[in-house]
Amino acid sequence: MNMQLMKELCGTVELDNLSNIYDSCNHLEVTEYVDDIYQYYWVIEAQNQPIKNYMETQKEITPQMRGILINWLIEVHLKFDLMQETLFLMVTLLDYYLTLARVKKNDLQLVGLTSLLLASKYEDLFHPRVMDLLSISAESYTRDQMLEMVSMNHL
């Protein structure tokens, strides 16, 4: 990958040689590709940042409501004993969705739970069942509502 392009997209991030963080004796680690993989991740991350001040486009929800939702989702995350990476991906998915779509106040928890479900499906070996997530939300939503949210192309 072009180092100049990397510096333009990532700013002054120092792109050290990452190959040495893995066991080069393990052939399954494909250490020869580690640098390329991480450089690709940095480019993709730089290209997919949420729009600055994206919460200003929301009519019904506030940054404080987002914070309360994330605090609650952290508790849900801990209850289901999910991977730490799931939590980070969940917040990324939530922010990405809030960047793309206006969310009604009543649907914010559904968007958060759906973000958690999708992140867990990606990161965890065993993800929470839809019905378990719905029950933790005091049955505020139906299974069909959550599955419809999952099938939307935004998340």
Whether residues 78 and 122 fall in one domain: yes
Instruction: Say whether pLDDT at 5 is over 80.
Output: no
Q: How far apart are CA 19 and CA 38, in angstroms?
A: 10
CB–CB of 31/24 below 8 Å?
Answer: yes
Q: Give the Cβ contact number of residue 57 at 10 Å.
A: 12
Helices within 11-155 (DSSP H only): 34-47, 63-79, 84-100, 108-123, 130-136, 143-151
Whether residues 33 and 72 fall in one domain: no
From residue 40, how far is each of 6, 77, 146 by CA, in Å? 9, 28, 32
Whether residues 120 and 83 fall in one domain: yes
Whether residues 70 and 136 fall in one domain: yes
Higher pLDDT, 152 or 56: 56
For the chain, the average pLDDT equals 84
Predicted pLDDT of residue 54? 87
pLDDT tens-digit readout, 60-99: 999 999 999 999 999 999 999 999 999 999 999 999 999 9
Question: What is the token pair recorded at 147?
Answer: 């599955």
Whether residues 113 and 147 fall in one domain: yes
Q: 1 falls in which pLDDT band (50, 70, 90)? A: very low
